[in-house]
Amino acid sequence: MSEKRKVSFLGLGVMGGAIARHIGNAGHELTIYNRSPIRAEKWQEANPGLAARVAESPAEAARGADVVITCVGNDDDLADVVLGPQGVFSTLGKGGVFIDHTTVSARIARQIAVEARDLQIHCIDAPMTGSQIGAENGTLTLMCGGRADAIEAGSPVMSAYSSRIVHVGKAGAGQTTKMANQICIAGIVASLAEAVRFAQSSHLDMEKVFEAISGGAAQSWQMDNRWMTMAADEFDFGFAIDWMRKDLGLAMDEGRGIGVSLPVAALVDQFYAELQAMGGGREDTSALIRRLPRRGAK
């Protein structure tokens, strides 16, 4: 990409920190901000080759920027960072691009889009999938809601850390697409956990079972990446149960609003609540197998 831009990135968590690194490596003029300043300091220490300016507030980060990207925690965090007195929209200029990668409600995404329209700011709600591995490798898939011209304006920067940018619809559509994604994952992980425990309790060779079934109709990303780790009781991977419960809650709230029942998602959400009660909220979602006792162990 030949055109370099002034890009401000807000929210340096596991996903955001990796994305910011890709943006800096692409040659953009990078400004970073995190509500906890120590995280910004640690990011700089971990990326000594990147000259990133540290802003003291979202407003300072957005002042003079071409593109502002957020990756924070929830609706309230996003509203504060973007719409608050010291928020992004208090200083981001006309024609600027705002991209949000947080998984939040479609309601807040639409509200921000209305505010952006009135300020003549391009706005994209772009939740992502691909997990921590995708962020580290720059191969995320972005589900983008907003106007076509906004997606076009943001794509040169988003391409620095994603392998697929899909314009799924108008403002808020990115978030509802992400909800559909999480509904799928919840059901797949639940059935995968049962299959792994069933195979173990049947004293099968787990590698052979995987070889036999992973090339057919049962195949999935979760099977390819979590079958053997679930069998080995290893759950230190990207996406935590706490975050999955947040996402499923968003999906169920949206479902109630549009009159759609999500019984499988609701059931799996209850399973994850059990794991939180067991102290496993920060474990990867594949820890769902911990609820299922292994029978007939030799």
Residue 145: both structure tokens together: 């809601």
DSSP assignment letter at 1: -
182-187 contacts: CB < 8 A, separation 24 or more?
182/103, 182/244, 182/247, 182/248, 182/251, 182/265, 183/248, 183/251, 183/262, 183/264, 183/265, 185/222, 185/244, 185/285, 186/244, 186/248, 186/264, 186/265, 186/268, 186/269, 187/264, 187/265, 187/268
SS (H, E, C) 34-73: CCCHHHHHHHHHHCCCCCCEECCCHHHHHCCCCEEEECCC
178 noted as active-site residue: yes
C-alpha atoms less than 13 angstroms from C-alpha of 294 in its C-beta half-sphere: 16
Among candidate residues 72, 96, 95, 94, the one with its CA nearest the CA of residue 84: 72
Catalytic residue among 4, 178, 208, 246: 178
Query: What is the distance between the alpha carbons of residues 249 and 31, in angstroms, rounded to a whole number?
Result: 33
Among candidate residues 54, 42, 47, the one with its CA nearest the CA of residue 10: 54
DSSP assignment letter at 282: T
* Active-site residue list: 178
